[in-house]
Amino acid sequence: MSNIYDLIIKNGSCFISNKIEQVDIGINNDKISKVGLINKTQGGKVFEAKGLTIIPGAIDTQVHFREPGFPKKEDLESGSEAAVLGGITSVFEMPNTTPPTDNFDAFEDKLKRANNRMSCNYAFYFGATENNTKFLKDIVQLKGCCGVKMFVGSSTGTLLVKKDEAIEEVIRVSPKVVAIHSEDENLLQKKRDLIRKNDPKSHTDWRDSDVAMASTKKVVSYANKHRKRIHVLHVSSKEEIFFLKNNKDFTTVETTPQFLTMHSPDCYEKLGTLVQMNPPIRGKDHQEALWDAISQGVVDIIGSDHAPHTLEEKGKQYPESPSGMPGVQTLLPIMLNHVNNGKLSLDTLVNLVSIKPTKIFGIKNRGAIKEENFADLTVIDMHKQFLISNSWIASRCKWTPFNNYKVKGFPVGTVINGNVVSWESEIVLKKSGKPLIF
């Protein structure tokens, strides 16, 4: 009998319409052709997935891959390899590169650099500035553009929209979702004397929850006024969560695995500047509010905020040390461990990393295991135990804040655009990622 399918994934526990079903997946070229019972003689290749869970490919909607600018920290190639080894099939990459991605030439340059070099699928944010609002309407035409990124508080890089009128204008004119780094720049400048030299814990005093809250209230009010969609990145504080709970008409919410797993002061005592990030990891009460927000559906997306810096840079004395830590490779292992510990259901996790990112940003034909969709799948072994270590990290920076962290639940493989790309911590097909379509 001739082959009907290029690849059959046989006997997996597949996540379909919010339920686990024991079905087979037949793939032709880059698309899912059939979901149902398939005879294995009909496949060119058959991938036996008994005992494994197959979910629609996980998407990390916040990564910084540092190209162009800082190839010692990361580039599009190495960052995408880290992604697939962590079970991520698509990434949205941030514009605070050097030079920043805040004009059409820089955007096209990033797309060219990504072509035939990235191992996962990709899209890029267009960076907002105080001077480029008049061009923002034209980003609808850009292939591979997921949205606009606006820093309203300064962080790594030079991108910043500081004036209230400019912040409002970006939200008013953007034809796509505006993803916001939400810390109030005026308060950040005012509170600088709360920084204590050589004490990274004082990062939480300087960039406290008032700084985040003032900004989040402001951007939500602009979104409501203009009835335009915003996405608040890496929400870190209980105050923002209490506010956002009742203010989600035009706003969606992201939080990160590090906020859900580490807390102050312990993380700073153990890891110092390695866990310094903007906004900062806060106390246990904030972490608990974030978990409640997940169970109540207030959080829409988990993004890693993968922001690698070299160990040498991180070794500088606070506050000379840069903010940010890698995370694209550990997002799923950490979150699957939380599933096994009963902190959230697998159903909720799939919504946070696949279904909602697809819906919020309008990605075409992904985010569900169904016929005609692109065959992007993350293959999970919910029973596999794994010790996360620096030596496993594929990111150029070669370290993780989760070094020596034991997890149960592991993304053992990825299928991207119909091809098996990684299996058991090996990449079997490199550089076949494609730009996402919106």
Binding site for ligand DOR (CB under 6 A): 64, 96, 155-156, 181, 277-278, 307, 323-324
What string of DSSP letters covers 93-129?
Answer: E-S-SSS-S-SHHHHHHHHHHHTTT-SSEEEEEEEP-
CA distance 333 to 261: 12
Instruction: Report in angstroms how near the CB of residue 145 gets to ligand DOR at its nearest.
Output: 19
- Of 161, 168, 211, whose CA–CA distance to 190 is shortest? 211
- Distance separating alpha carbons of residues 186 and 286, to the nearest angstrom: 23
Q: For residues 273 and 358, which CB has a smaller minimum distance to ligand DOR in the complex?
A: 273
- Do 100 and 119 touch, CB atoms closer than 8 A? no
Q: CB 60 → ligand DOR: shortest distance, Å?
A: 14
Is the separation of the CB atoms in 424 and 412 below 8 Å? yes
Judged by beta carbon, residue 189 or residue 345, the one nearer ligand DOR is: 189
Least Å from the CB of residue 64 to ligand DOR:
4
**Complex with ligand DOR: residue 323 or 330, whichever CB lies closer:** 323
Q: Is 56 helix (H, G, I), strand (E, B) or coil?
A: strand
Least distance in angstroms from the C-beta of 155 to ligand DOR: 4
Helix/strand/coil for 383: strand
Nearest alpha-carbon partner for 53 in 302, 321, 347:
347
Nearer to ligand DOR, 257 or 324 (CB): 324
At its nearest, how many Å lie between ligand DOR and the CB of residue 76?
Answer: 15
d(CA 67, CA 315): 22
Rounded Cα gap, residues 277 and 268, in angstroms: 11
In the complex, minimum distance from the CB of residue 97 to ligand DOR, in angstroms, rounded to a whole number: 9
Question: Token pair for residue 272?
Answer: 């110092």
Residue listed under structure tokens 């650099």: 113
Least Å distance, CB 278 to ligand DOR, is 4
| Residue 33 DSSP symbol | E
Which residue lies nearer to ligand DOR by CB, 123 or 277? 277
Amino acid at 383: H
Output the smallest distance, CB 195 to ligand DOR, in A: 15
- Interatomic CA distance for residues 155 and 65, integer angstroms: 15
